[in-house]
Amino acid sequence: MSAPLLQLTEVTKSFGGIHALSAVTSGVPEGKIVGIIGPNGAGKTTLFNVITGAYRADSGAVRLNGTALNGLPPHRIAREGIARTFQNIRLFPSMTVWEHLLVAQPHGESWWRRLLPVGWGDPAAQVRAEEVMEFFGLTGLRDRPAKSLPYGLQRRVEMARALTARPKLLLLDEPVAGMNHDEAEEVRQLMLKLRATGVTILLIEHDMNFVMRLCDYLYVLDFGVLIAEGTPGEVRTNPRVLDAYLGKDE
C-alpha cells in the first residue's frame, strides 16, 4: 500500500496497567473500505477514540494525508476531514433530521453568516443537507425528531450527519449492530455507493459475514495488538485469527 490516507505509526495507549493499544501500525488507503475486527475488549473503539482525539495516544503518530493529528482537539481533527459514528448511537435529542444535517456542515463559513436565519444566508448549507438526506433516503423524514425514528433509521441519520461535512475518512463503529440481515444489506449497499463517491471508510464490526463481504482490507486486533492483516480471504484462513476468536488448543 503506497501513501495511505490515514497512517498510524506505533500507536500506544494504556489505561493504568492495561495496554489498550500496543504499538499499532496500520494504514488506510484512499478510496478503500478497511475493517478492524477482533474479540470484545481488543481495543477497537479505543483506536477510534485515539484517531478522533477523544483520547490522546501515549506514543506513536496518527497522520491524515501526512498531517499529524496527535494532540489536536476533536473539533480540529473533524475539520481535517475525519467523521465518525458511535457504537451506541449519539444523536442530538432536541433536533430533527434536517437540523442534524445543518449543524454538521463543513466549517468554511464566517460566524456572522452562520448567525443569520438558515433560510436567509446559507443556500450552500441547505443544498448540501438536501443532497445527503436524499443519499441516505431520509428526505421524507426531514422534520421528524431524529430520536423518534426506528433504530435502523437513527443509524442512518448518524451516518448522514457524519457525511455532511464531506469527510475524507469516515469511521463507523459497528454500523450494523442490532440490525437484521436485510437492514445490514442496505447499509452494505450504501457503503459501496459511498466508496464509489471517493469516501474512504474505516469500520469496526462484529458481523463477520458483513465484514468479509464488504471490506477491501482487514486488520485484526487482539488485546491491543495487531495480530493479522490482509484481504478478507487471507484473514479468514490465518491461524492466529482463528486462535483469537476460537481459543487455542492446549
Partner 1 sequence: MSTYYASLFAEAGILLLGALSVYIILATGQLSLGNAAFMAIGAYLSSYLTVAIGMPVTPALIVSAIAAGIIGVIVGFPALRLKGIYLAMATLGFGEMMRSFFINFPAMGGSGGFHGMAHISVGYIWAWAGGILAVLILVERSRVWLEMQAVHDDETAAGLVGLNTVAIKVSAFGIGAAVAAISGGLFAHHHVYIEPANFGFERSIDFVLATILGGSTLGLGSLIGAILLVFLPEFLRPIADWRLAAFGTLLILVLLLRRQGIVDRMLLRGLTFRKAAS
The angle formed by the CA atoms of residues 177, 27 and 199, to the nearest 5 degrees, is: 60
Q: Are the C-beta atoms of 14 and 65 separated by less than 8 Å? A: no
Residue 82: CB minimum distance to partner 1, A? 9
Residue 78 or 211: the one with the smaller Cβ distance to partner 1 is: 78
Report the distance separating Cα 222 and Cα 17, nearest Å. 17
One residue of 2, 16, 17, 111 binding partner 1 per CB under 8 A: 111
Task: Please compute, for residue 49, the number of CA atoms within 13 A of its CA located in the half-sphere on the CB side.
Answer: 15
Residue 74: CB minimum distance to partner 1, A? 4
**Residues 44, 229, 33, 47: what is their CA dihedral angle, to the nearest 10 degrees?**
20
Q: Are the C-beta atoms of 158 and 90 separated by less than 8 Å? A: yes
Site for partner 1 in 53-82 (CB under 8 A): 54, 73-75, 78-79
Site for partner 1 in 80-109 (CB under 8 A): 83-84, 86, 90-95, 99, 102-107
One residue of 7, 26, 46, 52 binding partner 1 per CB under 8 A: 52
> What is the binding site for partner 1 (CB under 8 A)?
52, 54, 73-75, 78-79, 83-84, 86, 90-95, 99, 102-107, 111, 114-119, 122, 125, 161-162, 164-165
